[in-house]
Chain A
């Protein structure tokens, strides 16, 4: 995490339009460690908003307003320069890399030295209660383990904000609450301003923060 002032994630009067239709209009500040839930039916442009914040929204969308992270405007920056992490409903672990390889992929290059990098990854695995999983094939993990590795991967990339795109919708109900608290606890622990979009009201309740409804 950067040492700069932590003002959180500000969405200043952000409007996203596709053609004539306005998809989203939000004006909101998310403090460090706060988890804001955005609820809305599918097609309401929730994911487009996340795409806009992390910089991967296609040009065909028209966007106005500003996105500011810790006092720095993000608009115009390339996705890789924004320090905004994102988790989808699928874990999207890279199937060609080992579990450790996936985590090391996310670790910034300024952390140098093979042993040091390995230690950082092992430590992350340890905090996910997955010691000894470094060389495992991601395809052999359980759903819960994959979800945890995906989160550790995002955190290792040292994000300054986190976006969650219906992150729990594919987990079975038993696992869901467990992974939820794992994710939310780490967001707060790392003081990450977090924006979650979902259509499951329970997600919002569990997050315990503001819930904003889109129509």
Chain B
């Protein structure tokens, strides 16, 4: 039974992606029998290229995705180079880990409330400049998409940082740093010359996932990106939701175009990697030490802190808005506070939280079960998952959501599963499982194999060893992985919206739907609501092992989740 789980898992990952891509590709060329498309044709493409501003939309997706990824990677690498092994590094680790659980849309709303013309930053400046009305410039939805880039960077930094963190031990980084320092290299130069080349291969897949995401993001783009025209992915969602069903054909060809954009962006990124590697080899050997790098080190810490601070401060301003009474410009705080809106929305809040859990809990349970079974199977057969298997697990994160979610909806319709809980859960699972796997595989492999060996030699069956020894020892890691998974499902916008066909109103779909309305108090409430479940998940992941093993000191060291 256990033997078949890895195959089942891969089918559950690859199946929806390939079914979805086929379901997108066929309508893109005119074939969708349900809507009367039976003859292959290029009409959808002609209609697509006749759309006004298509070039701008493509440019926004492509350029902003690449820039956001490059900035995120650069900041994370620079910060790790400058501070690895120091107290500041560990402090940043503690700040960034919880930020990872903030859903993208919440972070984007928070940032918008900070940097908007009537946002907190301008209000603060106004205290000194005496402005009595917000400056008339577009800071969010700016035509260059800079607000979008900022929002993406703030959210991708924690992810890339934690991915880098798990790659660091494999390069023996502390001793490498000692060697480069005793050879007279500055901390940053030593890291870039000796450590980066060894860890980059390990973080390459996460970087590609960030690139694919940034190039095709929908929810953050709705909140922060330019609107006339919007990046391609946002426009595709608009066309898919058009009451004129014939638009689906054109939307499908646009979704294929979006996939091509991501592929080209990846090709550009890989070409860039090659160039940097070639130049870097000469640079590594040219002997320049860059001994005094205090200024750069300081700057890297400041940038990382601003990025983390923006998310945290954004959450605070969401909270203030959610309980704000009358709040005129340029007051720093509202004249009064009230819970009126929270109490008025109580029923709706309960409903959307319930729906979110109804989708999230099964998705997380299935994901954790599958991942644990895959990892345990690895242990029992002694065969580690190869690089190819890893790529398959990552695949759903490398393909733009919008390019296969519509096709998947078509596929589920064929199966008669449209708008069912089952199909939405399966849609979420595709994104939850990879993150659960990422979170769990490292602690699972780090567990001393001699515990298993000892228990087996004491006469326990492999099943008993798993349930009574390995699983309890991994309690915190498993709960943390479940919390990561919950954070992922709570944050899902497109899969919920498209596969559920609007039937499932989660905290995230509700929050993003409020974006166009501009009711800041309601956005504050729903933005915070998105935070509640992931936050509770992580709190439980800390609390439950602490209570279960309160009399077992050895479990603290054992359970680094």
User: Which residues of A are in contact with B by a Cβ distance under 8 Å?
Assistant: 51, 54-56, 58-60, 78-86, 88, 90, 92-96, 98, 105-106, 108, 137-140, 153-154, 157-159
Nearest residue (CB) in A for B469 is A94
Are A83's CB and B459's CB within 8 A?
Answer: yes
CA distance A82 to B457 in the complex (A): 8
Are B551's CB and A106's CB within 8 A?
Answer: no
Are A108's CB and B459's CB within 8 A?
Answer: yes
Decide: A95 near B455, CB < 8 A? Known: A58-B382, A59-B382, A90-B450.
no
Instruction: Give which listed residue, B469, B475, B551, contacts A137 with CB less than 8 A.
Output: B551
**A140 proximity list for chain B (CB < 8 A):** 553
Q: Which of B306-314, B315-323, B403-411, B460-468 contacts A (4 or more CB under 8 A)?
A: B460-468
Instruction: Give which listed residue, B459, B549, B553, contacts A157 with CB less than 8 A.
Output: B459
Q: Name the distance in Å between A185's Cβ and chain B's nearest Cβ.
A: 21
**B551 proximity list for chain A (CB < 8 A):** 98, 137
Decide: A137 near B554, CB < 8 A? Known: A58-B382, A85-B458, A96-B549.
yes
Interface residues of B in 524-561 (CB under 8 A from A): 549, 551-555, 557-558
Are A92's CB and B454's CB within 8 A?
Answer: yes
Are B460's CB and A105's CB within 8 A?
Answer: yes
Are A96's CB and B454's CB within 8 A?
Answer: no
Nearest residue (CB) in A for B460 is A80
Q: Which 5 A-B pairs have the closest CB atoms?
A: A95-B554, A139-B554, A139-B553, A79-B456, A157-B458
Are A80's CB and B553's CB within 8 A?
Answer: no
**B458 proximity list for chain A (CB < 8 A):** 80, 85, 105-106, 153-154, 157
CA distance A94 to B469 in the complex (A): 7
Instruction: Give which listed residue, B451, B461, B472, contacts A92 with CB less than 8 A.
Output: B451
15 more A-B residue pairs beyond the given contacts A95-B555, A96-B472, A96-B552, with a C-beta to C-beta distance below 8 A: A54-B453, A56-B452, A79-B456, A80-B458, A88-B454, A90-B448, A93-B554, A94-B455, A95-B473, A96-B555, A108-B459, A139-B552, A140-B553, A157-B457, A158-B459
Q: Name the distance in Å between A139's Cβ and chain B's nearest Cβ.
A: 4
Q: Name the distance in Å between A162's Cβ and chain B's nearest Cβ.
A: 10
CA distance A94 to B467 in the complex (A): 13
**B461 proximity list for chain A (CB < 8 A):** 80
Per DSSP, chain B at the interface is helix
**B475 proximity list for chain A (CB < 8 A):** 96
Are B459's CB and A106's CB within 8 A?
Answer: yes
CA distance A70 to B237 in the complex (A): 72
CA distance A41 to B130 in the complex (A): 79
CA distance A79 to B473 in the complex (A): 21
Q: Name the distance in Å between A111's Cβ and chain B's nearest Cβ.
A: 12
Indicate the size class of the contact surface on chain B: 20 to 34
Nearest residue (CB) in B for A58 is B382
**B457 proximity list for chain A (CB < 8 A):** 54, 56, 79-80, 82, 84-86, 154, 157, 159
Nearest residue (CB) in A for B554 is A95
Nearest residue (CB) in B for A86 is B457
Decide: A94 near B451, CB < 8 A? Known: A105-B468, A137-B553.
yes
Are B459's CB and A80's CB within 8 A?
Answer: yes
**A80 proximity list for chain B (CB < 8 A):** 456-462
CA distance A83 to B458 in the complex (A): 7
Are B450's CB and A95's CB within 8 A?
Answer: no
Q: Name the distance in Å between A108's Cβ and chain B's nearest Cβ.
A: 6
CA distance A186 to B345 in the complex (A): 71
Q: Name the distance in Å between A86's Cβ and chain B's nearest Cβ.
A: 5
Q: Name the distance in Å between A55's Cβ and chain B's nearest Cβ.
A: 8
Most chain B CB within a 10 A radius of its CB, from A79, A84, A106, A159: A79
Are A56's CB and B453's CB within 8 A?
Answer: yes
**B557 proximity list for chain A (CB < 8 A):** 95
CA distance A80 to B464 in the complex (A): 11
Decide: A94 near B453, CB < 8 A? Known: A85-B458, A106-B459.
no
Are B554's CB and A138's CB within 8 A?
Answer: yes
Q: Name the distance in Å between A98's Cβ and chain B's nearest Cβ.
A: 8
CA distance A56 to B457 in the complex (A): 9
CA distance A157 to B465 in the complex (A): 14
CA distance A84 to B454 in the complex (A): 10
Residues 430-451 of B, flagged 1 when their CB comes within 8 A of A and 0 if not, give 0000000000000000001011
Can you offer 10 A-B residue contacts whose CB atoms are under 8 A?
A78-B462, A80-B459, A85-B458, A92-B448, A94-B451, A94-B469, A96-B552, A96-B554, A153-B458, A159-B457
Most chain B CB within a 10 A radius of its CB, from A54, A92, A140, A153: A92
Nearest residue (CB) in A for B557 is A95
**B382 proximity list for chain A (CB < 8 A):** 58-60
Are B451's CB and A96's CB within 8 A?
Answer: no
Nearest residue (CB) in B for A60 is B382
CA distance A110 to B448 in the complex (A): 29
Q: Name the distance in Å between A147's Cβ and chain B's nearest Cβ.
A: 14
Nearest residue (CB) in A for B448 is A92
Are B450's CB and A92's CB within 8 A?
Answer: yes
Q: Name the distance in Å between B549's Cβ and chain A's nearest Cβ.
A: 6
**A82 proximity list for chain B (CB < 8 A):** 457
**A106 proximity list for chain B (CB < 8 A):** 458-459
CA distance A98 to B468 in the complex (A): 13
CA distance A196 to B455 in the complex (A): 19
CA distance A96 to B451 in the complex (A): 12
CA distance A80 to B472 in the complex (A): 20
CA distance A105 to B452 in the complex (A): 13
CA distance A83 to B457 in the complex (A): 7
**A81 proximity list for chain B (CB < 8 A):** 459
CA distance A98 to B551 in the complex (A): 9
Nearest residue (CB) in A for B382 is A58
Interface residues of B in 296-341 (CB under 8 A from A): none
CA distance A90 to B457 in the complex (A): 15
Nearest residue (CB) in A for B381 is A59
Are B552's CB and A95's CB within 8 A?
Answer: yes
Instruction: Give which listed residue, B453, B469, B555, contacts A79 with CB less than 8 A.
Output: B453
CA distance A63 to B473 in the complex (A): 32
**A85 proximity list for chain B (CB < 8 A):** 457-458
Decide: A96 near B473, CB < 8 A? Known: A56-B456, A79-B457, A86-B453.
yes
Q: Name the distance in Å between A72's Cβ and chain B's nearest Cβ.
A: 15
